[in-house]
Amino acid sequence: QKEVEQNSGPLSVPEGAIASLNCTYSDRVSQSFFWYRQYSGKSPELIMSIYSNGDKEDGRFTAQLNKASQYVSLLIRDSQPSDSATYLCAVKGVGSGYALNFGKGTSLLVTP
Amino acid sequence: ETGVTQTPRHLVMGMTNKKSLKCEQHLGHNAMYWYKQSAKKPLELMFVYSLEERVENNSVPSRFSPECPNSSHLFLHLHTLQPEDSALYLCASSQGPSSYNEQFFGPGTRLTVL
């Protein structure tokens, strides 16, 4: 069973701080990693994808990937109350066809 | 909103009803997906269509029946559902099965089975 694990939270951070969201995965041959943001009552929205070890930055978001440790994280700098949402980690393995394996998500609350 | 639309947005049905969910993608993608999202559970992949051919079916009960008439449209036909089928049903699309397969979701249909 290919698993993607996330702390369910809620993770509470003050406005302006850095929020750090973590994800571990069990399939060693996973190649592609995605972060989705899901507001309550809405559908998931793709915010970051990462395929190589290291960091990838896009605005206030930085995705970090460490394949040796089977670990991917999302950093949100200068957190805003509008960042309050559930963040889903998704992983795709080699030869897994079309399927993405999703974690249950981490709930983030940014307090003013 | 993304380039994936879904109708209806909300649906309430009895266990003996027959209804259909519709999805349309305007992104020029060639793969489309149905997912189920239940409370406190990870997103569950139900079906995948690539170029109108079903390529994955993850042990979904036969009361769910997908249909993909062309690469832009996807339907999920529902009949004799159970209350435990109440969930958010999400459609997604992507360019294809490669490892760089970014999937984009529609707004979902919130289904309640009475």
pLDDT tens digits, B58-70 = 789 999 999 999 9
Task: Tell me the average pLDDT across B13-37.
Answer: 94
Q: Cα separation of A21 and A26, whole Å?
A: 17
Q: For the segment A36-62, what is each residue's pLDDT rounded down to a tens digit?
A: 999 999 999 999 999 999 999 999 999
With an 8 Å Cβ cutoff, are A102 and B43 in contact?
A: yes
pLDDT on residue B3: 94
Distances in whole angstroms, Cα of residue A104 to Cα of each of A63, A86, A87, B8, B40: 18, 9, 9, 25, 7
Tell me the two tokens of residue A71.
């670990």
Best B103, B104, B109 residue to mutate vs chain A (most A CBs within 10 Å): B103
